[in-house]
Amino acid sequence: MKNLTEIIGKMSKVEKRYYKLFADRVDFKKEKKVVQLFECIQNEKYVEDSEELINLLFPNGSKNSYYRLKNRLLEDLNRSLLLQHINIDERNSVLSMISLSNIYANKNQYKQAIYYLKRAERKALAKELFDLLDLIYSEVLSIARHYDDIDPNAIILKRKEIADKYSVIREADEAVLAVNYQLRRTNFSGKEIEVQKTLKKILDGIAINKEIYKLPRVKLKIHECVRNSFLQAKDFHTLEGYLLKSFKDFNKEKIFSQVNHLDKIILISWIVNTLSKNKKFAEALKYSDILFSELLKYNKLYFDKYSWTYYQSLSINNFFLGKLKTAIEIAEKVVLNPQLKGNQFYDLGVYLTLSSQYYCQRDISKAIKTLSPIIIKDTYNNLPSTWQINISIVEMILHYENGDIEYAFTKLKEIKRTFKPLLKDQAYAKEAKLLDIFSLIVKHPDPFGNKSVNKKIDDYLKLSQEMEPGANDVINYNAWLISKVKRQDYYQVILQMVD
C-alpha cells in the first residue's frame, strides 16, 4: 500500500521538522536509514516502492527489508505526530493522561494513577468532552476495587449526571447532523419564506425530542448549517436576509451569553462580509461598529484573535466607498502594529490589500515594496497555487506599470513556465487569457492604441465576470484593462464597477 507519500505530503513543515528531531534522538544505523527513506519520499526524488528506491536503500534488492523499513517509518511518524499533538489538541491531551493513569495502575501505583485521572477529569469538564468523562469514571471505578481511598458511590453519581447531560448533547448533535444532511439535498429558490418552510419540514420529520431544538447550542448549529448551504450555492442575497433575521431573532430570544459569545462574533462577521459582497458598504460599516463593541465585551476575551475581522472590514468598505486615504491609514495601522497581526492568513491579506490600495493611489513603488514580504521564497512557496499565480500576475503588472518592461516580460515567461499544467485547467481560463493578452501588451510600444490588442481585450471583458467585492483580487484584471483602454484612473473604474 502506497500511503507514506500521502502521509508525508500532507504533513506541515512544523510536523516534518518535529519528526526529524524525534528521529535524531537515537544515532543508530537503522535510524539513519529510516530518515533516509523519509527524505527520499519528502523530496519526491524517488517513487515509493520503486525498484530504484529499494536498490538505493538495500543494494541487494531485498524487498522484505524495504517493507519492514517502511513499517518502521510509519510507526515512527505516528509516534512523532502523537507526541507533537498531545498538548495541541485538548482531546489528545486528556487521552494521554488516561493512558498514563493506566500505566501507573498496572504498576499498582494507584495514587499516581488517580492523580492523572483527576487532571484528565478537570480538562474534560472544561472542554465538555463528555464521552471521555465516562471513560475516566470507568477507570476510576476500576482502580477503586484495589484502592480504598476512593468512594465508588460518589463516582457512580458523577457518571450518572454526566450520562444524563451527555445524552441531551448527543441528541442535539444528532439533530444538527440530520438537518445538515437534509439541507445539502435541498435546492432553495432563493426566497426567505421557502427557507423557513423547508427548515420547519426538516425539523418536523426528524424523530428527536422537539425541546432539543429550543437549546441555544442547537439553534446556533442549525443556523450554521443553513448559512453554509447558502454560501456553497453562492446565493449571497438570500444569505444576507437570513443572517440579518437570525441576528435579530437571536437577540430577541436572548440566546447569547459569554458561553456562546464567539458564535455571536462569527455571526456578525458573516453579516459584515455578506453586506460587502452585496455592495452595501455603508451598512457593512454599521455592523463593523457592532462587531467592535462585541469584541470589547468579557474583558476583550476574543479581541486579539478576531480584531483583524474588524480592521479588514473598515479598510475594505471605506475603500469601496471612495475613501481611499482612510482605507490606507487603517491598513497601515494594522501592518505597523504587531498586536493586530499574528493570523498568518490574515497577515497575508493585509499586505495584499495595502499593496492594491497603494496602486490605486498611483504609488507603484510602495505597492511593489508592500508585496515584497509575500513573494519571498519561504512565504510564497507555502501558498496555494491559486494565490501563487495571482500574486505573480500582480507582481508582473506592477513592474509593467513602473516602466520595467523587461522585468515584466521575464516574469510573464516565468509564470507561463511554472504554471503550465495549471493554465491548461478550465478553472484558470481567466488567468491564461490574460497572460495571452499581456504577451501582446509587452511587445507593442502603444498596445492600448493597437486594434488587434484592443479586440483581444474586448473579447476577454465579454467573457469575464462582474466585479466581486471581497474576491481577493489585488488588482482586478477587468478594471485594469478597462482603465488602460479608456485611459481612465484605475480606482475610478473600480468605483464605477461597484456603483
Q: What is the mean pLDDT of residues 301-306?
A: 86
Cell numbers 444524563 label which residue? 164
Query: Which stretch of 161-175, 233-247, 323-337, 359-373 has the lowest confidence by average pLDDT?
Result: 161-175
Does 217 have pLDDT greater than 90?
no
Does 451 have pLDDT greater than 70?
yes
Confidence band of 21 (pLDDT split at 50, 70, 90): confident
Sign of CA dihedral 43, 46, 48, 54: negative
More confident residue, 363 or 82: 363
More confident residue, 195 or 412: 412
**pLDDT for the residue numbered 308:** 86
The CA–CA distances, whole Å, from 126 to 119, 156, 221, 354 equal 11, 20, 20, 41
More confident residue, 173 or 276: 276
Residues 72, 76: Cα–Cα separation, whole Å: 6
Does 80 have pLDDT greater than 60?
yes
Sign of CA dihedral 442, 444, 445, 451: negative
Across 206-304, the runs of DSSP E, i.e. the strands, are none
**pLDDT for the residue numbered 315:** 94
**pLDDT for the residue numbered 193:** 54
CA angle 59, 62, 65 (to 5 degrees): 110
Across all residues in the chain, what is the average pLDDT? 85
Residues 87, 3: Cα–Cα separation, whole Å: 26
Question: Can you read off the three cell numbers belonging to residue 497?
Answer: 464597477
Q: What is the mean pLDDT of residues 211-221?
A: 75
Does 465 have pLDDT greater than 80?
no
CA angle 314, 344, 221 (to 5 degrees): 70
Residues 389, 287: Cα–Cα separation, whole Å: 33
More confident residue, 59 or 283: 283
Does 189 have pLDDT greater than 50?
no
Residues 482, 458: Cα–Cα separation, whole Å: 9
Q: SS3 of 54, please?
A: helix
Q: Cα 209 from chain centroid?
A: 34
**pLDDT for the residue numbered 1:** 47
Give which of 270, 278, 275 is closest to 309, Cα–Cα: 270
- Yes or no: say if 399 and 437 are a contact pair by the CB < 8 Å rule: no
The CA–CA distances, whole Å, from 210 to 90, 218, 219, 227, 468 equal 32, 11, 12, 22, 41
Q: What is the mean pLDDT of residues 398-413?
A: 95
Question: Can you read off the three cell numbers belonging to residue 23?
Answer: 528521529
Query: Which stretch of 335-349, 383-397, 448-462 has the lowest confidence by average pLDDT?
Result: 335-349
Does 453 have pLDDT greater than 60?
yes
Does 362 have pLDDT greater than 90?
yes
**pLDDT for the residue numbered 161:** 84
Confidence band of 381 (pLDDT split at 50, 70, 90): confident
**pLDDT for the residue numbered 384:** 81
**pLDDT for the residue numbered 496:** 94
Confidence band of 79 (pLDDT split at 50, 70, 90): confident
Confidence band of 32 (pLDDT split at 50, 70, 90): confident
Q: What percent of the chain has pLDDT over 90?
A: 44
**pLDDT for the residue numbered 448:** 93
**pLDDT for the residue numbered 251:** 96
The 8-class DSSP code of residue 476 comes to -
Query: Which stretch of 65-69, 156-160, 212-216, 476-480 has the lowest confidence by average pLDDT?
Result: 212-216
Does 206 have pLDDT greater than 60?
no
More confident residue, 270 or 89: 270
Q: What is the mean pLDDT of residues 319-332?
A: 96
Q: What is the mean pLDDT of residues 12-39?
A: 77
The 8-class DSSP code of residue 296 comes to T
